Amino acid sequence: MTTTEGPPRAAGWRWSAALAAALLWLAGVVLAAPVAHAEDGYALWLRYRPRPQAQAEEYRAAATELVAPAATPTQRATRAELLRGLEGLLGAAPVSSAAVSRDGALVVGTPASSKVVAGLRRELAGLGREGYLIRSLRVDGRQATVIAANEDVGVLYGAFHYLRLLQTGRPLRGLDLREAPRVQLRVLNHWDNLDGTVERGYAGASIWDWHKLPDWRDPRYTDYARANASIGINGTVLNNVNSNALVLTPMYLEKVAALAEVFRPYGIRVYLSARFSAPREIGGLPTADPLDPAVRRWWKEKVDEIYRHVPDFGGFLVKANSEGQPGPQDYGRSHADGANMLAEALAPHGGVVMWRAFVYSDEEPEDRAKQAYNEFVPLDGRFAGNVLVQVKNGAIDFQPREPFHPLFGAMPRTPLMMEFQITKEYLGFATHLVYLGPLFEETLRADTHVRGEGSTVAKVVDGSLHGYRLTGMAGVANIGADRNWSGSHFDQANWYAFGRLAWDPEASARDIAEEWARMTFAPDPRVTGPVVEMMMASREAVVDYMTPLGLHHLMGRGHHYGPGPWVEGGPRADWTSVYFHRATRQGIGFDRSTRGSDAVSQYAPPVARLFDDPATTPETLLLWFHHLPWDYRMASGRTLWEELVARYDRGVAQVRRMRATWARLEGLVDAERHAQVAAFLAIQEKEAQWWRDASIAYWQSINGLPLPPGHAPPPRPLEYYKSLEFPHAPGHH
Q: Is 549 helix (H, G, I), strand (E, B) or coil?
A: helix
**CB of 470 within 8 A of CB of 419?**
no
Instruction: Return the number of the residue (124 or 247) whose C-beta is nearest a copy of itself.
Output: 247
178: left (phi over 0), alpha (psi -120 to 50) or beta: beta
* Torsion angle of the four alpha carbons 122, 126, 130, 135, in this order, in degrees rounded to the nearest 10: -50
Rounded distance between C-alpha atoms, residue 532 and residue 516, angstroms: 9
Give the residue, chosen from 113, 197, 399, 484, that forms a contact with a copy of itself under the rule CB under 8 A: 197
Question: Catalytic site residue 397?
Answer: yes
Give the residue, chosen from 15, 254, 378, 595, that forms a contact with a copy of itself under the rule CB under 8 A: 15
DSSP string, 698-714: HHHHHH-PPPPTT-PPP
Rounded distance between C-alpha atoms, residue 395 and residue 200, angstroms: 19
Query: Does residue 20 bind a copy of itself (CB under 8 A)?
Result: yes
Rounded distance between C-alpha atoms, residue 424 and residue 521, angstroms: 22
Query: Does residue 294 bind a copy of itself (CB under 8 A)?
Result: no
Residues 632-691 interacting with a copy of itself (rule: CB under 8 A) = 672, 675-676, 679-680, 682-683, 686
Q: How long is the chain? A: 733
Query: Does residue 112 bind a copy of itself (CB under 8 A)?
Result: no
* AA letter at 415: P
DSSP string, 436-501: -HHHHHHHHH-B--BTBTT-BHHHHHTSTTTT-S--EEEEE----SSTTSSSSTTTHHHHHHHHHH
Query: Does residue 50 bind a copy of itself (CB under 8 A)?
Result: yes
Give the residue, chosen from 1, 33, 54, 615, that forms a contact with a copy of itself under the rule CB under 8 A: 33
Instruction: Return the number of the residue (258 or 628) whose C-beta is nearest a copy of itself.
Output: 258
Residues 209-228 interacting with a copy of itself (rule: CB under 8 A) = 210-212, 215-217, 219
Query: Does residue 560 bind a copy of itself (CB under 8 A)?
Result: no
| Candidates 34-42, 320-328, 371-379, 594-602; binding stretch for a copy of itself (CB under 8 A) | 34-42
Shortest reach from residue 241's CB to a copy of itself, in Å:
18
Give the residue, chosen from 169, 196, 412, 558, that forms a contact with a copy of itself under the rule CB under 8 A: 196
| Candidates 6-14, 64-72, 588-596, 691-699; binding stretch for a copy of itself (CB under 8 A) | 6-14
Rounded distance between C-alpha atoms, residue 599 and residue 603, angstroms: 8
The vertex-608 CA angle with 602 and 614, nearest 5°, equals: 125
Question: Catalytic site residue 323?
Answer: yes
Rounded distance between C-alpha atoms, residue 37 and residue 177, angstroms: 36
Query: Does residue 35 bind a copy of itself (CB under 8 A)?
Result: yes
Using CB under 8 A, count the residues that bind a copy of itself.
69
Tell whether the torsion through CA atoms of 657, 659, 663 and 666 is positive or negative.
positive
Give the residue, chosen from 246, 291, 527, 537, that forms a contact with a copy of itself under the rule CB under 8 A: 246
Rounded distance between C-alpha atoms, residue 143 and residue 134, angstroms: 14
Question: Catalytic site residue 425?
Answer: yes
Query: Does residue 364 bind a copy of itself (CB under 8 A)?
Result: no
Active-site option among 65, 81, 425, 540: 425
Instruction: Return the number of the residue (633 or 726) whose C-beta is nearest a copy of itself.
Output: 726
**CB of 386 within 8 A of CB of 346?**
yes
Shortest reach from residue 233's CB to a copy of itself, in Å:
22
Residues 459-498 interacting with a copy of itself (rule: CB under 8 A) = 481-483
Active-site option among 58, 397, 598, 631: 397
Q: How many CB atoms lie within 10 A of CB 20?
A: 12
Query: Does residue 47 bind a copy of itself (CB under 8 A)?
Result: yes
CB contact set of 388 (below 8 Å; sequence gap of 6+): 185, 352, 353, 354, 355, 414, 415, 416, 417, 470, 471, 472
Query: Does residue 92 bind a copy of itself (CB under 8 A)?
Result: yes
Give the residue, chosen from 87, 292, 364, 397, that forms a contact with a copy of itself under the rule CB under 8 A: 87
| Candidates 162-170, 348-356, 393-401, 721-729; binding stretch for a copy of itself (CB under 8 A) | 721-729
**CB of 228 within 8 A of CB of 188?**
yes
| Candidates 17-25, 388-396, 446-454, 621-629; binding stretch for a copy of itself (CB under 8 A) | 17-25
Shortest reach from residue 190's CB to a copy of itself, in Å:
15
Active-site option among 301, 304, 323, 511: 323
**Per-residue buried b or exposed e for 623-658, using 16+ beta carbons within 10 Å of the residue's own CB:** bbbbbbebebebeeebbbbbbbbbbbbbbbebbbeb
Give the residue, chosen from 4, 34, 324, 704, that forms a contact with a copy of itself under the rule CB under 8 A: 34
CB contact set of 201 (below 8 Å; sequence gap of 6+): 191, 192, 423, 478, 479, 480, 730, 731
Give the residue, chosen from 76, 84, 135, 349, that forms a contact with a copy of itself under the rule CB under 8 A: 84
Binding flags for a copy of itself, 700-719, as an x/- string (CB under 8 A): --------------------
Shortest reach from residue 306's CB to a copy of itself, in Å:
19
Q: Terminus-to-terminus CA distance in the chain, angstroms? A: 65
Binding interface with a copy of itself (CB under 8 A): 8-13, 15-16, 19-20, 22-35, 37-38, 42-43, 47-50, 84, 87-88, 91-92, 194-197, 204-205, 210-212, 215-217, 219, 246, 429-431, 481-483, 672, 675-676, 679-680, 682-683, 686, 727-730
Annotated catalytic residues are: 323, 397, 425
